[in-house]
Structure 1
Amino acid sequence: MKKKRTNISDIAKAVQVTPSTVSRALNGGGKVSEKKKQEIISLAKKLGYRPNPIAKSLLENRTNTIGLIIPEFTHHFYSRMLAGIESITSNSGYQLLICTSNEDQSQEIKSIYTLLDARVDGVIATISKVNDTFGHLQEVMDNDTPLVLVDRFSEEIEAPYVISDDFQGAFSAVDHLCQIGCRKIVHIKGPDNLSTTFNRLMGYKEALRKHEIEWEEDLVLEGSNPDLEEQIKSCLETNLVDGAFAYSDYLAFEIYKVASQLKIHIPDQLAVIGYADEPISTYITPTLSTVNQQPFEMGAKAAQILLNQIENPEIPREFVSLPTELIIRKSIR
């Protein structure tokens, strides 16, 4: 048989006071003698009393929970970002309710309404790859629930965001390739419609422009193409490619596989740089040069902005772009 949960009325009856007196004693309120307060607190501990979080949230109009929507857990990037968020929220007395979209906007929309129904105090979200509608995100803000976007953003929604400087990150990667003598640099780009894809492509183009290298459309490949391996193979065979910059470390690994099939040696014949500094970048041979986006710092900053918005809804929205770091490993000669 399920044990009955001790409530304030039980304690009040035992010490022969009103429930409101017990409530004041347990919450540090006035008009209760120190002796009676200690008696109430002692009995509450003995009976294993725990406040009802639902009742408390209704009373305070706050649940001390933060909703988080991320595409997935498997990428090291998102686990580090989550750790950064938790480093702020847990120290501030907030619990996280975590949902994953699996890069599916319909799942993202369901998650938003689940979090709103749970009356979270705020939402942090990384929007999914396919983001052709933003009404659900606007509804969060229309509901007077603070929203902060992290890693990806859209100009369609005027919410605070924290991203990495993807333009500069891509520029520094391709600029380095150019500086070591690469002149035919292939770029495997990310999913369409994402701000990260656009900014990294622009950084790639700007670095080529700086070094007076003409941009060639044939050297930009779609990372989501099911025939990507064949595209990479054709590109490496026909264009005398000597450098490669990938939207992610995982796409850079696809270049490694094809280069191995074609007996193209990395880095002597082909220099490669990825993006995100995933663990795979240190596991493969040769170790992969990459761009660190500071995901922990990104998550921590997003959480701090959200908590600031919760405490003071009138403060100006913040739009933060964190610097990236180019990490040179053995995939560069």
Structure 2
Amino acid sequence: MPSRNTEKPITRKDIAELLGVSVSVVSRALNNSGYVEEKKRQKIIRTAEELGYVPQPVAMSLQERRTKQILFYCKDLNNEFNLEMYRGMCKTANERGYMVVMNGVLSFARIRDTMIDGIIMPNENLTEYYLEQVGKNYYLPVVSASYCNPVNLPKSVPLVEIDMYRAMEVGMQYLFHMGHKRIAFGFPYSTTNPNSRLLAFKEQISLKSDRRWQDWVVSVHWLDKRDDIRLMAFKEDMEDNSLKMEEDFFAKGEIAAQLFQERKMDATAVICFNDEFALGMMRELQRMGVKVPQDISIVGIDGTRARRYVTPLLTTVDANPQRQGGECAKILIDMIEKKNTKYIVHQSVRLLEGESVKDLRSRR
């Protein structure tokens, strides 16, 4: 083996030049990410060890020395949906002999220093951001939860997708079935946001209303209501930084209830962005003396256990977050262990009927 200047750190480029392979091949071999022919992989690992190559602790797993830990990056620790995803991950990972660690602070430098074998991202938007920032140069396996939102991700990143477009259709069709035609949408983002739930709402409301779809959207975002001081409290919106900061969907739901009343909307029902938003809206409406479902019906989307802790029991569209989390962990561990991997998994949704929707079918 050629001698090296020990004062100069060994790089992946050094190893690649020595073995006559590309730097990307060396990176895939050292980080257990992507295909490398087995003999070549072993030679790269052996050469790295002999040269004294010392990468970040994460990458030093070097295949046979796996940490048996995977990371769930989750910035919204107050959102029950994410906690139920985590429960599903832990159950599946434990069955495979792995642990799941959670990080709620967006610091990719810290992730690089953490002893993990792979990462689960909570949504496709954050996955895209991660890959743009460091992921292209740091080849840890990544699996992403997905909600049918438009992003540009490489095919090598598996997605466990819940069809939120379909979830909105299910919720709206249920309300139509129950006799509701004037339905509002509680939305935590600007109406310029190309979110799949908003796109589905536009299509569904056009079936029953001749009015503009904007008339039915209760948007809790400063871009749509710049003069509302209440929206100044949401720093992630003001700084266009929602990817990095925790979002308070419950508080936005409370403000949505106030906006709904102030606008004197004649809707008989509101379908909300998620369960946290719906619960916040229910609480504030009830505080203002508006009865659910007698005066206004409320539907959520998520199917979290939190729906059981309020009165009336929230009707919601169940996305089964525990199942999604378990599937994310399964696919990531399959990647780590070089087993066949599904690169997209679709999960169905179903309605969970509660007590928060009034039946208007008997009205004449």
For the criterion TM > 0.5, the same-fold answer is yes
The correspondence for 1:147, drawn from 137, 142, 145, is 142
Alignment of 1:120-131 (within 5 A): 120-127=116-123
Q: Residue 317 and residue 278 in structure 1: after superposition, are their counterparts in 2 closer, same or farther (change >3 A)? A: closer
Alignment of 1:135-174 (within 5 A): 136=131, 139-140=134-135, 142-151=137-146, 155-158=151-154, 159-174=157-172
Shift in Å, 1:215: 4.3
The SS at the match of 2:171 is: helix
Separation in 2, partners of 1:68, 1:127: 11
Q: Which runs of 5+ in 1 are unaligned?
A: 1-52, 102-107
1:208 maps to a residue whose letter is: I
The correspondence for 2:198, drawn from 198, 201, 220, is 201
Q: Which residue of 2 aligns with 1:21?
A: none
Shift in Å, 1:100: 0.8
2:182/2:266 contact within 8 Å kept: yes
The SS at the match of 1:134 is: helix
1:181 maps to a residue whose letter is: G
Shift in Å, 1:261: 5.5
Shift in Å, 1:312: 2.3
RMSD: 3.2
Identity of aligned residues (%): 19
Q: Residue 316 and residue 81 in structure 1: after superposition, are their counterparts in 2 closer, same or farther (change >3 A)? A: closer
Separation in 2, partners of 1:294, 1:254: 21
Matched residue count: 267
Separation in 1, partners of 2:330, 2:180: 41
Alignment of 1:47-196 (within 5 A): 57=61, 60-101=64-105, 108=106, 110=107, 112-127=108-123, 134=129, 136=131, 139-140=134-135, 142-151=137-146, 155-158=151-154, 159-191=157-189
Shift in Å, 1:258: 4.8
Separation in 1, partners of 2:343, 2:191: 23
The correspondence for 2:278, drawn from 252, 255, 270, is 252
Shift in Å, 1:132: 11
Separation in 1, partners of 2:313, 2:349: 19
Q: Which residue of 1 aligns with 2:17?
A: none
- 1:241-270 CA-to-partner distances (Å, cap 9, x unmatched) read 111101122322343345435644332332
Q: Residue 142 and residue 247 in structure 1: after superposition, are their counterparts in 2 closer, same or farther (change >3 A)? A: same
Shift in Å, 1:218: 2.3
The SS at the match of 2:292 is: coil
Q: Residue 166 and residue 184 in structure 1: after superposition, are their counterparts in 2 closer, same or farther (change >3 A)? A: same
Separation in 2, partners of 1:241, 1:258: 17
Q: Which residue of 2 aligns with 1:321?
A: 346
Q: Residue 298 and residue 194 in structure 1: after superposition, are their counterparts in 2 closer, same or farther (change >3 A)? A: farther
Q: Which runs of 5+ in 2 are unaligned?
A: 1-56, 223-229, 232-254, 359-364
* TM-score when normalising by structure 2: 0.64
Shift in Å, 1:193: 10
- Residue 234 in structure 1 maps to residue 301 in structure 2: no
Separation in 2, partners of 1:283, 1:303: 28
